[in-house]
C-alpha cells in the first residue's frame, strides 16, 4: 500500500502550492483559533478551491460543535475531518452520520496505557492518527514539535489504517516509519521556520525523505 504524506497547518497559497507540487497526498487546514496555524473560513474557502482534487482536503478541528462543522463544510467541503480533541466514540459516530465524511481520530500518546482507547475509536473512525501527548499546561493538543516513543506502536495489532505525527521532520521521518510501520505520516511544525510559518524548502525535503522510504521498501 502506498505511503500517505500529509502536510498540515497550511495557511497560504504559496505553501499549499508547494505541498501540492511536491506530491502531498493530504493537505490539512486548522480551524482552531488558539493555534498559530488557524485559518478563517474565508481563507479555508480560498485554499480549498486551489486544491482542485490534487490531494485530500483535511479539516482539523478540536471539540468543534455542529454549527462550526457546518460552517467548515460550507467553506472547505473537506474530504475528511481530523478530530484532535476529546471527542468520544459517540461523537465520532454523530459527525460521520451528520456530515457524511470519513473521520480521522487523533490519539495522543505518551505511554502504553494511552493505547487503551483504540478499540472504541477503531470501531467507528476511518483512520487513526497517533500524535505526541501535549504537556498539561499546553494551550493546544498538537503541532508542538515533540515526538513520542515510536516503539510504543511496535507490534500494534490495528486493522484500521493509521498515521504518525508529532515532532516529525525530514531528518527523522525514515526512522519513524521504520519503527511504527505506519501507512502515513503527518507533519506541521517540522516544516516551519517559525510557529505557523511554513517553509517551502522544508516541505519539499520532508516529502522527498518520506518518499525515499517507499522506494527502499519497493526494492
pLDDT at residue 103 greater than cutoff 60: yes
Strand pairing partners for 46?
A: none
CA separation for the pair 136, 33 (Å, rounded): 19
Q: Are 210 and 173 in contact (CB under 8 A)?
A: yes
CA separation for the pair 99, 129 (Å, rounded): 20
Strands, E assignment, 70-124:
80-83, 103-109
CA separation for the pair 166, 155 (Å, rounded): 20
Active site residues: 8, 131
What pLDDT score does 157 carry? 85
Which of the four pLDDT bands, split at 50, 70 and 90, describes residue 136? Answer: low
In 3D, which of 59, 62, 95 has the Cα closest to residue 80? 59
What pLDDT score does 213 carry? 76
pTM: 0.93
Tens digits of per-residue pLDDT, 66-98?
999 999 999 999 999 999 999 999 999 999 999
Amino acid at each position: 500500500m502506498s505511503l500517505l504524506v500529509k502536510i498540515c497547518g497550511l495557511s497560504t497559497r504559496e505553501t499549499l502550492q508547494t505541498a501540492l507540487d511536491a506530491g502531498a497526498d493530504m493537505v490539512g487546514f486548522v480551524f482552531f483559533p488558539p493555534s498559530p496555524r488557524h485559518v478563517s473560513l474565508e481563507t479555508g474557502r480560498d485554499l480549498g478551491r486551489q486544491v482542485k482534487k490534487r490531494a485530500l482536503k483535511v479539516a482539523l478541528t478540536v471539540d468543534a460543535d455542529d454549527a462550526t462543522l457546518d460552517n467548515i463544510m460550507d467553506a472547505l467541503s473537506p474530504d475528511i475531518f481530523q478530530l484532535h480533541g476529546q471527542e468520544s466514540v459517540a461523537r465520532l459516530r454523530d459527525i460521520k452520520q451528520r456530515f457524511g465524511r470519513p473521520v480521522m481520530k487523533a490519539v495522543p500518546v505518551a505511554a502504553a496505557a494511552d493505547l487503551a482507547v483504540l478499540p472504541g475509536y477503531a470501531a467507528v473512525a476511518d483512520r487513526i492518527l497517533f500524535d505526541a501527548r501535549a504537556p498539561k499546561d499546553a494551550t493546544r493538543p498538537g503541532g508542538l514539535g515533540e515526538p513520542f516513543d515510536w516503539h510504543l506502536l511496535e507490534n500494534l495489532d490495528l486493522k484500521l489504517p493509521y498515521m504518525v505525527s508529532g515532532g516529525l521532520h525530514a531528518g527523522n521521518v525514515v526512522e519513524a516509519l521504520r519503527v511504527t510501520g505506519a501507512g502515513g505520516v503527518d507533519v506541521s511544525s517540522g516544516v516551519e521556520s517559525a510557529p505557523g510559518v511554513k517553509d517551502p524548502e522544508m516541505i519539499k525535503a520532508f516529502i522527498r525523505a518520506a518518499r525515499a522510504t517507499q522506494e527502499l521498501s519497493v526494492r
